[in-house]
Structure 1
Amino acid sequence: MSHDLFLAAKAAMKNAHAPYSKFPVGAAIRTTDGRIFSGCNVEIASYPEGWCAETTALGHYVTGGGGEIAEIAVIAERMAKVTPCGGCRQRLAEFAPAEAKVYLCDDAGVVGTVTMGELLPYGFKGGILKK
């Protein structure tokens, strides 16, 4: 089941706009109801501003109505087993439960699997901000 999520992340990576870093990244999110939302990194002239692939995928996920996240795939053209950056780990943790699977990929497919809880064991939880 993870292979189609990998393919969605890989296809998104092909559309990355990374003229400054030359580091295209793709990400795909699957909700428990089977919907897939993908994204790529988009860099702008005031580099390092811009947004990561995971952020783009989350934007599509929220715009598409959200839901419970079950799985996430991440791929980078120039780095096998790339993981989300620290900021994206926190962004993903805002919507994904600790048990959500995160697939780390290379050009051929999934080469590692971790959970969100393993990637961000001490992340902030939004509930502490509410009274």
Structure 2
Amino acid sequence: MAIDVSKRTAQIRTAVYGKYVRENIAGGIEDIAGDVNQFEDVTTQRQNDYESNVNKQWSDYKEVMDADEVTRKNNEDTRISNENIRIANEGSRQTVYNDFRNMLNTSEKIGRLPYLFDGGAFGDSGDTNNWVLSMDGGSF
């Protein structure tokens, strides 16, 4: 709240005795100091409110970002696990391919080519998925 300085200056100018002059000067200084202190208190409170608001917004943002980072890390771990499984399966697939290729190459050398994969009846409930590479193709 701003004080009316003109009242204090008028009192100082019209004071007859020194004690009244001194009293009006001291009172004016006290009034100004009170306004300055009040202004500083309000400004400090506004600054504190602003910083509190910024800190809360940052905290909320950081919480979301931390949750997103956990999700990203879990997804990356899953991707790495899937890649490791794929690599392991690729080794197994490559082994089966090499075994088949070697069998064909060996069969050509001895003049006997295999006819079929003898895996039994496909889709039958008795299918054991134990397929065997053989020289005898069996029947469908």
TM interval, short-chain normalised: under 0.3
Q: TM-score, normalised by structure 1?
A: 0.19
Q: TM-score, normalised by structure 2?
A: 0.18
When you count helix as a share of all residues, which structure comes out higher? 2
Q: Which structure has the higher relative contact order (CA within 8 Å, separation 6+)?
A: 1
Greater strand share, 1 or 2? 1
